[in-house]
Amino acid sequence: MVLSAAGQHLLRVSRPGAWGQHLLRVSRPGAWGHHLLRVSRPGAWGQHLLRGIGSVSTTAKGFQEKEIREKLQAFPGGSIDLVKQESGIAVLTVNNPARMNAFSGSMMVELEERVSQLEEWTEGKGLIVQGAAGTFCSGSDLNAVRAISNPQDGMKMCMFMQNVLTRLLRLPLLSVALVEGSALGGGAELTTACDFRLMVPGGMIRFVHKHMGLVPGWGGAARLVRIVGSQNALKMLGGALKVDPEMGLQIGLADGVLEGSLDGSGANALLEAEQWLGCYTTGPASVIRAIKNVVVSGRELPLEVALRTERDVFGTVWGGPANLQALASKAKHK
Ligand SMILES: CCCC(=O)SCCNC(=O)CCNC(=O)[C@H](O)C(C)(C)COP(=O)(O)OP(=O)(O)OC[C@H]1O[C@@H](n2cnc3c(N)ncnc32)[C@H](O)[C@@H]1OP(=O)(O)O
């Protein structure tokens, strides 16, 4: 198989050789940089995926999650609510409407706990991430941001959220961000930690970081480049562009536009999103989860490792109940 230019580039970036070292030298050689190099080691990675656990930085040198959690807990407010449904689709709600669903520190910690619960949910197939009360999420709670505006604390918060959102994206569930109202700053980053984005008319995704004197720090830039390409990402970040549903579809950020309700309130949006997602999650959980796992490994791992992981995931479904049933029914795919 021929490696594409992009594939070769990814291999170079993820090898703890020239490129990685270079990145470490250019940026601050903190624990996180070393962690990136560790994450790309083949063995651990494939195992992670198979177990459906995508913890990234908890083992990184110098990353003291307990200390960060305590710091974040000092900024309470709002909640992250999780409802696991019998259909195999769970709904995660960012709930802080008094602050346009901004993330308080305690909500960041709660998000980590909800992701852990989803990692343990073996019957799950899909996930919808939404905001409460008709808007998605306005990013970090600016009150907390002001209180921890020194670079050390900022980087710790950022590591915590990178870790959580990476695990969210790697869940063996097909995930959708349901964007009603505004997804701003960290809220825009959150949308990129889902496999798909569905927008309601009037919805907007906007990386406002530049206007805050920032760049994305929750992994949103890295994920955005992979979704829309570097040209579009540069425009979105450089211009703090307001991406509406039409532009979202055009650049590949949005995977669909929902009708919302006739009065424009989007009250129907969750139901529509469930129907949309149902097209991809119909079938046994073991197979849907395996599909997600092979796609994540193809997206994130060097080709050799991705192929090995794919073989291992294949082994989990080959001769399994769904496979045997399909063989017995002599299925025709007309
Ligand atoms: C690495 C992460 C980087 C980040 O996420 S930095 C944060 C980026 N986000 C922002 O800067 C959002 C700033 N907020 C806004 O632009 C506007 O509030 C927004 C969301 C467009 C809504 O505008 P409006 O509909 O006019 O409503 P409003 O301004 O009166 O807001 C209602 C109440 O919500 C509050 N709010 C909105 N976003 C917040 C935030 N991120 N942190 C803390 N509080 C926030 C806002 O202060 C207002 O509260 P209050 O009613 O004045 O007590």
Residue from 100, 106, 155, 182 to probe ligand 1 pocket by mutation (most atoms less than 8 Å from CB): 100
Determine which residue's CA is closest to atom 22 belonging to ligand 1.
100
| Residue type for position 137 | C
Spatial separation of the C-alpha atoms in residues 98 and 138, rounded to whole Å: 11
Beta bridge partners of 131: 94
Determine which residue's CA is closest to atom 32 belonging to ligand 1.
99
Q: Check pocket membership of 212 for ligand 1, CB cut-off 6 A.
A: yes
Q: Check pocket membership of 139 for ligand 1, CB cut-off 6 A.
A: yes
- Complete DSSP assignment for 133-175: TT--B-SB-HHHHHHT-SHHHHHHHHHHHHHHHHHHHHSSSEE
Radius of gyration of the chain (CA): 20
DSSP structure class, residue 78:
-
Determine which residue's CA is closest to atom 2 belonging to ligand 1.
186
Element (H, E) at 2: none
What number does the ligand 1 atom closest to the CA of 217 have?
A: 1
Residue from 138, 149, 156 to probe ligand 1 pocket by mutation (most atoms less than 8 Å from CB): 138
pLDDT score of 229: 98
pLDDT score of 112: 98
pLDDT score of 266: 54
10-residue block means of pLDDT along the chain (334 residues)?
A: 33 36 40 34 48 44 80 96 98 98 98 98 98 97 90 94 98 98 98 98 98 98 98 98 98 95 67 98 98 98 98 98 96 92
Residue with tokens 């590591």: 159
The alpha carbon of 187 and the centre of ligand 1 are apart by a number of angstroms equal to 11
Q: Check pocket membership of 184 for ligand 1, CB cut-off 6 A.
A: yes
DSSP structure class, residue 29:
-
Q: Check pocket membership of 185 for ligand 1, CB cut-off 6 A.
A: yes
Determine which residue's CA is closest to atom 23 belonging to ligand 1.
100
Exposure letters 271-288 (e unless 16+ CB within 10 A, then b): ebbbebbeebbeebbbbb
Q: Check pocket membership of 99 for ligand 1, CB cut-off 6 A.
A: yes
pLDDT score of 265: 53
Q: Check pocket membership of 217 for ligand 1, CB cut-off 6 A.
A: yes
Residue from 142, 148, 162, 223 to probe ligand 1 pocket by mutation (most atoms less than 8 Å from CB): 142
Q: Check pocket membership of 140 for ligand 1, CB cut-off 6 A.
A: yes
Determine which residue's CA is closest to atom 49 belonging to ligand 1.
99
Q: Check pocket membership of 135 for ligand 1, CB cut-off 6 A.
A: no
Determine which residue's CA is closest to atom 45 belonging to ligand 1.
99
Q: Check pocket membership of 75 for ligand 1, CB cut-off 6 A.
A: no
